[in-house]
Structure 1
Amino acid sequence: MTKKYDAIVIGSGQAGTPLCKKLAEAGLKTALIEKRWVGGTCVNDGCSPTKAMVASAKAAWGARQSGHLGIFAAGVTVDIQKVIERQKEIVLRMRSNVEESMAETKNLDVLYGEAAFCGVKQIEVTFTDGKKQLLSAEKIFVNTGLKPKIPDIPGIGDIEYLTSTSLLDLKEIPEKLLVVGSGYIGLEFGQMYQRFGSAVTIIEGSERIMLREDTDIAEEMTKILTDEGLDIQINTKVVSFANSKDGIVARLKSGTKVSERTYTHVLLATGRVPNTAVLKPEASEIKTDEKGFIIVNDQLETSVKGVYALGDVKGGPAFTHVSYDDYRIVAGNLLHNAHRKTSDRILPYCMFTDPQLGRVGITQQEAEKQKLKVKIATLPNSWVARSIETGDTRGMMKAIVDKETGKILGAAVLSNEGGEVIAVLQMAMLGGITWEQLRDSMFAHPTYSESLNNLFMNLDE
């Protein structure tokens, strides 16, 4: 028999978790289907655990680098067991909070199992004990997220590789770590384990890291990481993997040159793919693109009326705050007739290397591609009072402004607390504040945000 609900939410990520509660509180009989743990990637093996470990790595690096501040810490060691225990405790605490809030929500059934469409607006759930149940609802919301992409490299099935998920359970510090890929995951984990004590090599097939960012930002990040000892190999690809008595042998090709290097561990940071294969959206006539991402309109509705996709599974920027804002759009439109659209929002994000890279809006290279008339402001952190005082002048600030209106179109802040400074620029963009207004605004001294005065003074020259 088919059990009928008013609404079904598949996946308890940063959209699915608040959405199922909001729908149930609005009086809709709601089912949440989760195949693993509530909280999604962010809570369980994304933001929360990784940023906890990044904090540990930063503390270790800071202690070793504090001599120029007059502080000498001898014999700094890393207890990776303690690092892992701490991040596990944080994850468990956050997950438990989500579980408790769901248990207290009326009209909400939490079902642990794997969901697959078996007809239009019909779902079969395979529970963890193997039993099955058919469900149906007029409104269905898919928030199944992404999983690590495993590249098709000869020999990859023969080695014990790591992903961003499995690395969180590794209770040893790799002696020699090869990171395949230089995206956010590759750079964050690469720097983290270099600071823990690994010898880290990052492989990137393109001419530079961070292709989506401007060249000057990427070059500055490259300098920061290489100064810490990371070996970044650009224009290089892995030809094959093989096991040896000394570890994992990677055959690397750079141009016409082929070499072999041996590593103790390999991390695959080559992107992520949508969790839609098992979901079988085609059985419900839900359209996907060639990569398996669910296609939606600007109100997040799929090709089937009443069926929505939220978060990473729909493609586009894969960030927790995007997923949560997807929830606000869908909940606002369905429950409050809000008429919100994804095309109305400004996208901020932050890469949690150290220093952080905070970003909002468009880059200079995007502005040039769109043939926009812009002015570019840049400021090295060696000119930032707060950076000088704290003893860390790595990085830079950059802003792209409209030449005619003076409004800010985008910015990058590679700095300590770069994510916080970028929020100031995002607020300016939301409010239509011009660069002249920011240049002339009074900020508290000495803060990183205060240097926005100096950043925009450069446009006067």
Structure 2
Amino acid sequence: MTASSESTFDLIVLGTGSAGQSVATACREQGWSVAIIDSRPFGGTCSQRGCDPKRVLAGAAELIARSRNLKGKGLAGENAIDWADLMAFKTTFVENIPQSTEEKFEEAGIRYFHGSASFTGKNSIRVGEEELTGGKIVIATGAKPATLGIEGEDLLGNSEGFLDLKELPSTLAFIGGGYISFEFAHIAAEAGANVHIIHNNDKPLKNFEPDLVDALVQRMRELGIVFHLNAKTEKISRTESGEGYVLEGTENGQPFRLECGLAVHGAGRVPNVDELDLEKGGVEADKKGVTVDEHLRSVSNSDVYAAGDVSGSPGLPLTPIAGLEARAVSANLLEEGSVKPNYTATPSIVFTYPMLASVGMTEEQARKSGKEIKVNTVDMSGWYTYKRMGEKPSMAKVILDQSSGCILGAHVLNGEAEHLINYFAIAMRHGLTAAQLSDTLYGYPTDGSDLKYLLET
């Protein structure tokens, strides 16, 4: 590759999240000159403003729920969340990430730039007052909250703000019925807040199995969370005191008004491309992200690749997919056209309690596929594994291909869903049949040792 100068590099990477870091490091290890740019603190969303800090909070909420399940069954007293202490604990996981990421780049010999990046040509990027030239450019700028078109939308909080709340308001409203709203609503409710979820139709968590979603919604209602379905928020304003917010709109066609201490945007995210001036780089994009081919190369600029939430690939907007795509982009930069990412069996988890996890087809998708299927829908609440922890509901739905014995989809709602779904993902990704997965010897008594009862053909 060419030698680096102050402004010319073999590779320029936009974004320092997991995808951007991975590509930059892989190419630098092969002797490429690499520059990396980010306008936010280095380290990306997942580690600082998303999955990782969220799971710290969700872990505390889960512990409260688990202990409540066993009250009167051997546990005495009530646990409670101290919000300030929990946020301080969360901070220990994120506070050093920007500095450690910079140090990692320094050690690797990767030039880093703080600032907003934008294309000035097909191979040129402006950051601040500098213009950089890259033989190749990788876009890994992630996603941002979608614009909702609500009057007063600027008053909405977002997931990042929720994860940094110094004090928890007594009443919170989450706009949108996706996994972000569900997870944060559960955390807030377990911490003692009054919580509302406002969703524009009657099918929240639309990409998950409806039967299990209904059971989760019922469980969250029992926790005190109020669901406003078929509701549309049309206006957000300050209360007269200026200390809270008023949401106005419609619910089932009737006027709707709600006062809260904080309203949080949980209605989806979109590729973060608005400030990149993609047109100047000859890079096509649509609402899904940068338009790429099966090797994650831009269809309109052969020197540009995209990875992670910003790419318009078939992959779900999840951290494991960012890693998968980063590895594919790295390979294709080093050897053109060598790798196509394999998205088979991508598990997705809603970290409420109980957790909701899914991989593969839903029952509806499987019935439309034309395959001869068998659907095992199982209430596991009375099984030893879950009864001993007082878990209700505990449910699973497993969809099998009758002809091949393969698993087409698996959906789990319980406190062990994060583990169970990974067993199914391994089997589905590597073509194991239900019989083979059942034949595996698991430690007993564990969630794994129950698998065979979900896989009866």
TM-score, normalised to structure 2, is: 0.93
Q: Is the 8 A contact 2:62 2:352 kept in 1?
A: no
| SS of structure 1 residue aligned to 2:36 | strand
1:284 matched to which residue of 2? Answer: 281
Letter in structure 2 aligned against 1:278? E
Q: Is the 8 A contact 2:179 2:350 kept in 1?
A: yes
Measured at CA, do residues 339 and 378 of structure 1 come closer, stay the same or move farther in structure 2, by a change above 3 Å?
farther
In structure 2, stretches of 5+ residues that fail to align are none
For residues 40-98 of structure 1, the C-alpha deviation after alignment (integer angstroms, 9 at most, x for no partner) is: 10011001111111112223334444313321124x44321111111111012444443
Q: Is the 8 A contact 1:149 1:270 kept in 2?
A: yes
Q: For residues 68 and 94 of structure 1, what CA distance do their matches in structure 2 show?
A: 42
Q: C-alpha displacement at 1:99, in angstroms?
A: 3.1
Moved more, 192-201 or 232-241: 232-241
| SS of structure 1 residue aligned to 2:200 | coil
Q: Is the 8 A contact 1:2 1:134 kept in 2?
A: no
**Pick aligned residue for 1:189 from 184, 187, 191:** 184
Q: Is the 8 A contact 1:2 1:133 kept in 2?
A: no
Q: Is the 8 A contact 1:251 1:261 kept in 2?
A: yes
Q: For residues 56 and 277 of structure 2, what CA distance do their matches in structure 1 show?
A: 35
**Pick aligned residue for 2:75 from 62, 71, 80:** 71
Q: C-alpha displacement at 1:418, in angstroms?
A: 1.2
1:134 matched to which residue of 2? Answer: 131
Q: Is the 8 A contact 2:169 2:193 kept in 1?
A: yes
Matched positions, count: 448
Q: For residues 68 and 149 of structure 1, what CA distance do their matches in structure 2 show?
A: 45
Q: Is the 8 A contact 1:15 1:327 kept in 2?
A: yes
Q: For residues 182 and 172 of structure 1, what CA distance do their matches in structure 2 show?
A: 24
Q: For residues 432 and 93 of structure 2, what CA distance do their matches in structure 1 show?
A: 38
Q: For residues 99 and 73 of structure 1, what CA distance do their matches in structure 2 show?
A: 46
2:297 is aligned with 1:294 = no
**Pick aligned residue for 2:221 from 219, 222, 226:** 226
1:268 matched to which residue of 2? Answer: 265
2:167 matched to which residue of 1? Answer: 172
Q: Is the 8 A contact 1:205 1:236 kept in 2?
A: yes
Moved more, 436-445 or 280-289: 436-445
Q: C-alpha displacement at 1:179, in angstroms?
A: 0.8
Q: For residues 133 and 308 of structure 2, what CA distance do their matches in structure 1 show?
A: 22
Letter in structure 2 aligned against 1:26? Q
**Pick aligned residue for 1:308 from 288, 305, 319:** 305
**Pick aligned residue for 1:82 from 82, 85, 88:** 85
TM-score, normalised to structure 1, is: 0.92
Q: C-alpha displacement at 1:337, in angstroms?
A: 6.5
Letter in structure 1 aligned against 2:295? Q
What do you get for the CA RMSD once the two structures are aligned?
Answer: 2.0
1:335 matched to which residue of 2? Answer: 334
Measured at CA, do residues 170 and 150 of structure 1 come closer, stay the same or move farther in structure 2, by a change above 3 Å?
farther
1:123 matched to which residue of 2? Answer: 125
Q: Is the 8 A contact 2:70 2:389 kept in 1?
A: no
1:129 matched to which residue of 2? Answer: none
Moved more, 342-351 or 385-394: 342-351
Moved more, 217-226 or 190-199: 217-226
Measured at CA, do residues 421 and 183 of structure 1 come closer, stay the same or move farther in structure 2, by a change above 3 Å?
same
2:405 matched to which residue of 1? Answer: 406
Q: C-alpha displacement at 1:370, in angstroms?
A: 2.9
Q: Is the 8 A contact 1:220 1:395 kept in 2?
A: no
Q: Is the 8 A contact 1:150 1:268 kept in 2?
A: no
